[in-house]
Amino acid sequence: MIFDSHAHYDSHQYNDDREAVIEQLKNENVGKVVDISADIKGIANVLALADKYDYIYASVGVHPDEVENLTDKDFEYIKEKACHNKVVAIGEIGLDYFREDEYNKSRAKQKEWFERQLVLARELDKPVIIHSRDACVDTLEIMKRNSDLRYVMHCYSYSKETARELLELGCIFGIGGVVTFKNSKKLKEAVEYIPLDKIILETDCPYLAPDPFRGTRNKSGYIKYVIDEIARIKGISPSIVEDTCWINTHNFYNLSL
Protein backbone atom coordinates (compact mmCIF):
# COMPACT_ATOMS: atom_id res chain seq x y z
CA MET A 1 0.00 0.00 0.00
CA ILE A 2 1.25 3.50 -0.91
CA PHE A 3 1.49 6.35 1.60
CA ASP A 4 2.01 9.69 -0.18
CA SER A 5 3.80 11.68 2.50
CA HIS A 6 3.67 15.04 0.71
CA ALA A 7 0.93 16.22 -1.65
CA HIS A 8 -0.88 19.45 -2.54
CA TYR A 9 -4.38 18.39 -3.56
CA ASP A 10 -5.55 21.80 -2.36
CA SER A 11 -3.74 23.30 -5.39
CA HIS A 12 -5.77 25.26 -7.94
CA GLN A 13 -4.61 22.71 -10.53
CA TYR A 14 -7.23 20.33 -9.12
CA ASN A 15 -10.09 22.82 -8.98
CA ASP A 16 -11.94 21.22 -11.90
CA ASP A 17 -11.70 17.57 -10.81
CA ARG A 18 -10.32 17.42 -7.26
CA GLU A 19 -12.96 15.08 -5.88
CA ALA A 20 -12.67 12.66 -8.80
CA VAL A 21 -8.86 12.54 -8.56
CA ILE A 22 -8.91 11.93 -4.82
CA GLU A 23 -11.64 9.29 -5.03
CA GLN A 24 -9.65 7.45 -7.73
CA LEU A 25 -6.69 7.05 -5.38
CA LYS A 26 -8.49 4.22 -3.62
CA ASN A 27 -8.24 2.24 -6.88
CA GLU A 28 -4.53 3.02 -7.33
CA ASN A 29 -3.16 1.27 -4.23
CA VAL A 30 -2.94 4.58 -2.32
CA GLY A 31 -3.90 4.10 1.31
CA LYS A 32 -3.04 7.45 2.91
CA VAL A 33 -1.97 10.97 1.95
CA VAL A 34 -0.66 13.99 3.85
CA ASP A 35 -1.75 17.24 2.22
CA ILE A 36 0.72 20.04 2.88
CA SER A 37 -0.03 23.73 3.31
CA ALA A 38 2.30 26.27 1.72
CA ASP A 39 0.72 29.59 2.70
CA ILE A 40 -1.76 31.08 5.14
CA LYS A 41 -4.71 30.77 2.76
CA GLY A 42 -3.89 27.15 2.05
CA ILE A 43 -4.14 26.08 5.69
CA ALA A 44 -7.94 26.14 5.69
CA ASN A 45 -7.97 24.19 2.43
CA VAL A 46 -5.75 21.34 3.61
CA LEU A 47 -7.78 21.05 6.80
CA ALA A 48 -11.00 20.90 4.77
CA LEU A 49 -9.61 17.98 2.78
CA ALA A 50 -8.49 16.21 5.95
CA ASP A 51 -11.97 16.66 7.42
CA LYS A 52 -13.66 15.33 4.28
CA TYR A 53 -11.53 12.21 3.65
CA ASP A 54 -10.57 9.79 6.38
CA TYR A 55 -7.38 8.77 4.51
CA ILE A 56 -6.08 12.34 4.12
CA TYR A 57 -4.11 14.05 6.87
CA ALA A 58 -2.75 17.60 6.96
CA SER A 59 0.42 19.50 7.71
CA VAL A 60 0.34 23.16 8.69
CA GLY A 61 3.07 25.68 7.96
CA VAL A 62 4.21 28.43 5.59
CA HIS A 63 6.68 27.85 2.74
CA PRO A 64 9.75 30.16 2.73
CA ASP A 65 8.56 31.85 -0.47
CA GLU A 66 5.42 32.99 1.36
CA VAL A 67 6.76 34.40 4.65
CA GLU A 68 7.67 37.95 3.64
CA ASN A 69 4.45 39.54 4.89
CA LEU A 70 3.57 37.24 7.78
CA THR A 71 2.50 38.85 11.05
CA ASP A 72 2.22 37.85 14.70
CA LYS A 73 -1.50 37.44 14.10
CA ASP A 74 -0.72 34.97 11.30
CA PHE A 75 1.52 33.03 13.68
CA GLU A 76 -1.30 32.72 16.20
CA TYR A 77 -3.53 31.43 13.40
CA ILE A 78 -0.92 28.83 12.39
CA LYS A 79 -0.60 27.76 16.01
CA GLU A 80 -4.35 27.42 16.43
CA LYS A 81 -4.82 25.36 13.26
CA ALA A 82 -1.82 23.16 14.02
CA CYS A 83 -3.81 21.79 16.99
CA HIS A 84 -6.42 20.25 14.65
CA ASN A 85 -6.72 16.53 15.37
CA LYS A 86 -5.64 15.52 11.84
CA VAL A 87 -2.57 17.76 11.65
CA VAL A 88 0.42 15.43 11.79
CA ALA A 89 3.33 17.82 11.16
CA ILE A 90 4.55 21.40 10.83
CA GLY A 91 5.51 22.26 7.27
CA GLU A 92 6.50 22.75 4.71
CA ILE A 93 8.91 25.25 6.18
CA GLY A 94 12.55 26.13 5.61
CA LEU A 95 14.72 28.19 3.28
CA ASP A 96 14.62 28.81 -0.48
CA TYR A 97 17.36 30.93 -2.07
CA PHE A 98 16.46 30.03 -5.66
CA ARG A 99 16.23 33.16 -7.83
CA GLU A 100 16.05 35.26 -4.67
CA ASP A 101 16.84 38.57 -6.39
CA GLU A 102 14.18 38.03 -9.04
CA TYR A 103 11.57 37.23 -6.42
CA ASN A 104 12.83 39.81 -3.89
CA LYS A 105 13.31 37.22 -1.15
CA SER A 106 14.71 38.19 2.23
CA ARG A 107 17.04 35.61 3.77
CA ALA A 108 16.64 37.23 7.17
CA LYS A 109 12.85 36.97 7.00
CA GLN A 110 13.01 33.35 5.85
CA LYS A 111 15.32 32.42 8.73
CA GLU A 112 13.12 34.22 11.25
CA TRP A 113 9.99 32.37 10.22
CA PHE A 114 11.78 29.06 9.84
CA GLU A 115 12.92 29.26 13.45
CA ARG A 116 9.58 30.52 14.75
CA GLN A 117 7.79 27.59 13.18
CA LEU A 118 10.40 25.21 14.61
CA VAL A 119 9.57 26.57 18.06
CA LEU A 120 5.93 25.76 17.35
CA ALA A 121 6.82 22.21 16.30
CA ARG A 122 8.67 21.73 19.58
CA GLU A 123 5.81 23.18 21.60
CA LEU A 124 3.25 20.89 19.93
CA ASP A 125 5.60 17.88 19.72
CA LYS A 126 5.13 17.48 15.97
CA PRO A 127 7.63 16.44 13.29
CA VAL A 128 8.84 18.98 10.74
CA ILE A 129 8.69 18.94 6.93
CA ILE A 130 11.71 20.84 5.59
CA HIS A 131 11.84 22.67 2.26
CA SER A 132 15.40 23.60 1.31
CA ARG A 133 16.46 24.84 -2.11
CA ASP A 134 19.88 26.32 -2.84
CA ALA A 135 20.19 26.88 0.91
CA CYS A 136 21.97 23.80 2.19
CA VAL A 137 24.49 25.43 4.56
CA ASP A 138 22.00 27.70 6.31
CA THR A 139 19.35 24.98 6.51
CA LEU A 140 21.79 22.58 8.16
CA GLU A 141 22.96 25.25 10.58
CA ILE A 142 19.42 25.93 11.80
CA MET A 143 18.55 22.24 11.98
CA LYS A 144 21.66 21.55 14.06
CA ARG A 145 20.63 24.29 16.49
CA ASN A 146 17.30 22.50 16.79
CA SER A 147 18.56 18.94 16.74
CA ASP A 148 15.96 17.72 19.23
CA LEU A 149 13.24 17.90 16.55
CA ARG A 150 12.29 15.18 14.04
CA TYR A 151 12.74 16.13 10.37
CA VAL A 152 11.99 14.95 6.89
CA MET A 153 13.90 16.66 4.08
CA HIS A 154 11.17 17.06 1.50
CA CYS A 155 12.07 16.48 -2.15
CA TYR A 156 15.66 15.72 -1.29
CA SER A 157 18.03 17.19 -3.87
CA TYR A 158 21.41 17.53 -2.18
CA SER A 159 24.41 15.21 -2.30
CA LYS A 160 25.30 11.92 -0.65
CA GLU A 161 27.72 13.85 1.57
CA THR A 162 24.96 16.16 2.80
CA ALA A 163 22.75 13.13 3.37
CA ARG A 164 25.42 11.83 5.75
CA GLU A 165 25.19 15.00 7.85
CA LEU A 166 21.40 14.85 7.86
CA LEU A 167 21.41 11.22 8.93
CA GLU A 168 23.54 12.22 11.91
CA LEU A 169 20.67 14.54 12.90
CA GLY A 170 18.21 11.66 12.63
CA CYS A 171 16.61 13.18 9.53
CA ILE A 172 14.64 11.10 7.05
CA PHE A 173 14.27 11.81 3.34
CA GLY A 174 11.26 12.40 1.10
CA ILE A 175 11.90 10.86 -2.32
CA GLY A 176 9.62 11.51 -5.27
CA GLY A 177 9.46 11.66 -9.03
CA VAL A 178 12.80 13.40 -9.55
CA VAL A 179 14.63 10.15 -8.77
CA THR A 180 13.23 8.71 -12.03
CA PHE A 181 14.67 11.51 -14.19
CA LYS A 182 17.59 10.55 -16.40
CA ASN A 183 19.61 13.58 -15.25
CA SER A 184 19.21 12.89 -11.51
CA LYS A 185 22.56 11.16 -11.03
CA LYS A 186 23.36 12.96 -7.76
CA LEU A 187 20.00 12.01 -6.26
CA LYS A 188 20.31 8.39 -7.38
CA GLU A 189 23.70 8.22 -5.64
CA ALA A 190 22.17 9.66 -2.48
CA VAL A 191 19.25 7.20 -2.57
CA GLU A 192 21.69 4.32 -2.96
CA TYR A 193 23.50 5.56 0.16
CA ILE A 194 20.50 6.39 2.36
CA PRO A 195 19.18 3.40 4.36
CA LEU A 196 15.72 2.32 3.24
CA ASP A 197 14.34 2.80 6.75
CA LYS A 198 15.17 6.51 6.40
CA ILE A 199 13.13 7.03 3.20
CA ILE A 200 9.49 7.99 2.76
CA LEU A 201 7.69 8.38 -0.55
CA GLU A 202 6.13 11.58 -1.86
CA THR A 203 4.73 13.21 -4.97
CA ASP A 204 4.71 16.95 -4.25
CA CYS A 205 1.77 16.74 -6.63
CA PRO A 206 0.67 18.43 -8.81
CA TYR A 207 4.40 19.00 -9.40
CA LEU A 208 7.34 16.74 -10.31
CA ALA A 209 5.57 13.84 -11.99
CA PRO A 210 7.94 10.92 -12.59
CA ASP A 211 9.02 9.55 -15.94
CA PRO A 212 7.19 8.63 -18.13
CA PHE A 213 4.75 11.40 -17.09
CA ARG A 214 7.30 14.18 -16.56
CA GLY A 215 5.80 17.59 -17.29
CA THR A 216 2.21 16.52 -16.62
CA ARG A 217 0.10 16.90 -13.48
CA ASN A 218 1.29 14.50 -10.83
CA LYS A 219 -0.83 12.26 -8.57
CA SER A 220 -0.24 9.80 -5.76
CA GLY A 221 -0.80 6.75 -7.96
CA TYR A 222 2.38 7.60 -9.87
CA ILE A 223 4.46 6.78 -6.79
CA LYS A 224 4.67 3.23 -8.11
CA TYR A 225 7.26 4.50 -10.63
CA VAL A 226 9.29 5.99 -7.77
CA ILE A 227 9.08 2.68 -5.91
CA ASP A 228 10.36 0.82 -8.98
CA GLU A 229 13.32 3.17 -9.37
CA ILE A 230 14.32 3.00 -5.70
CA ALA A 231 14.09 -0.79 -5.91
CA ARG A 232 16.31 -0.79 -9.00
CA ILE A 233 18.89 1.46 -7.37
CA LYS A 234 19.03 -0.63 -4.21
CA GLY A 235 18.76 -4.01 -5.91
CA ILE A 236 15.71 -5.11 -3.95
CA SER A 237 12.10 -5.90 -4.81
CA PRO A 238 9.52 -3.11 -5.21
CA SER A 239 7.34 -4.78 -2.58
CA ILE A 240 10.08 -4.32 0.03
CA VAL A 241 10.34 -0.61 -0.84
CA GLU A 242 6.57 -0.15 -0.72
CA ASP A 243 6.07 -2.01 2.55
CA THR A 244 9.05 -0.45 4.33
CA CYS A 245 8.13 3.10 3.30
CA TRP A 246 4.53 2.50 4.42
CA ILE A 247 5.83 1.70 7.90
CA ASN A 248 8.40 4.52 7.84
CA THR A 249 5.76 7.12 7.05
CA HIS A 250 3.41 5.97 9.79
CA ASN A 251 6.27 6.09 12.27
CA PHE A 252 7.38 9.57 11.23
CA TYR A 253 3.88 11.03 11.46
CA ASN A 254 3.02 9.11 14.65
CA LEU A 255 0.11 7.31 13.02
CA SER A 256 -1.13 3.84 13.82
CA LEU A 257 -0.57 1.17 11.20
Write the pLDDT tens digit of every residue in 216-250.
Answer: 999 999 999 999 999 999 999 999 999 999 999 99
Q: What is the pLDDT of residue 78?
A: 98
Annotate 142-168 with b (16+ C-beta within 10 A) or e (fewer): bbeebeebbbbbbbbbbeeebbeebee
Q: What is the pLDDT of residue 103?
A: 76
What is the model's pTM? 0.97
Q: What is the pLDDT of residue 224?
A: 98
- pLDDT surpasses 90 at 204: yes
Cis peptide, bond prior to residue 92, ω within 30 of zero = yes
Give the helix/strand (H/E) hosting 137: helix 136-145
State pLDDT tens for residues 132-178: 999 999 999 999 999 999 999 999 999 999 999 999 999 999 999 99
pLDDT band at residue 102 under the 50/70/90 scheme: confident
% of the chain beyond a pLDDT of 70: 100
What residue spans define the domains of the chain? 2-252
| CATH match of 2-252 with 3.40.50.2300 | no
Let me know: does 132 contact 139? Beta carbons within 8 Å.
yes
Cβ burial of 71 (10 Å; 0-12, 13-18, 19+) is exposed
